[in-house]
Structure formats: structure tokens, C-alpha cells
Amino acid sequence: LTREGDGAVVPPLLVQPLAVADLAAELARVAVGPPRGLLEVAGPRTEDLVDMARRTLSARREPLELRELARHALRRRGRRRGHAARPRRRPDAHDLRQLAARRLGAGVSGPPVAQPVRPTRPDLRRTP
């Protein structure tokens, strides 16, 4: 649930909620047993997260308008806010100097911040 103004958005997911006491009991049981690798823990039934959020808001008497948010919209919102932004090209030394100047002050200068890594072993070097 993400609050936005007088409303909230929630992604349409199916989840298997689990009571905290049940989770604690399972973790205690596993902790004293032999190593098992990955442990998957889930509740007994599948629930719709949007429906759970609606019921929770209703029980709390919170006057929020709940909006379902599609997965593709989540990705778009993330990019728009900069959370999932990926550079269109690899940053070079000039980009890094500009970033440093913005963060540290305008007086940043000098040699390039990043140098290309060149293999030292001859068998790893590219041949033209």
C-alpha cells in the first residue's frame, strides 16, 4: 500500500499471508534442526492483496480511495521517479566528473575518474 495524496495504490498480487506466531514457531523448529537449505514459508490460503487492503482500510475506518496499480504502471512510475532508471549508455569519465561536481562543488577537475580495466595476463587480452 503506497499512500498518494488522499488515496493509496496497491499492486494486484496474490499472496499467502502468515500469522506472525506461526512464522515464529516454524523458524524456531527449523533453527534447532539440521541444515536444510532454502525454507519457503507461506500461509494456508491465497489472498488477493487488493482485497486485503480494502478490508484493512475498512476495518480501520480510513477514508482512503484505493486504486489498483498494474505491474507495467509500477515499472513506469519507478522510472519516472528515478527508482528503476537505467542509463542509456555506459557513463564515461566526463559523466563521473559532472556528477562529482554536482555533489561536491563546482571546483572538481583533474584526470579522468575512471580508467578502463586492462587485463594484465596476455591470454586475456583481445587481439585485433
Pairing of strands 14-15, 7-10: unpaired
Question: How far apart are alpha carbons 8 and 68 in whole angstroms?
Answer: 9
Q: What is the pLDDT of residues 5-30, one digit of tens each?
A: 788 888 888 999 999 999 999 889 88
- Predicted TM-score (pTM) of the model is 0.47
Q: What is the per-residue pLDDT across 34-83, written as a single tens digit (0 to 9) for each?
A: 887 878 888 889 999 989 998 988 898 988 888 887 655 555 555 555 54
Q: What is the pLDDT, as a whole number, of residue 40?
A: 83
For 123, residues 6+ apart whose C-beta sits below 8 A from its C-beta are: none
What gap in Å lies between CA 108 and CA 89, rounded to an integer?
23
Half-sphere exposure at residue 115, Cβ-oriented, CA atoms within 13 angstroms:
4
Question: Is pLDDT above 60 for 103?
Answer: yes
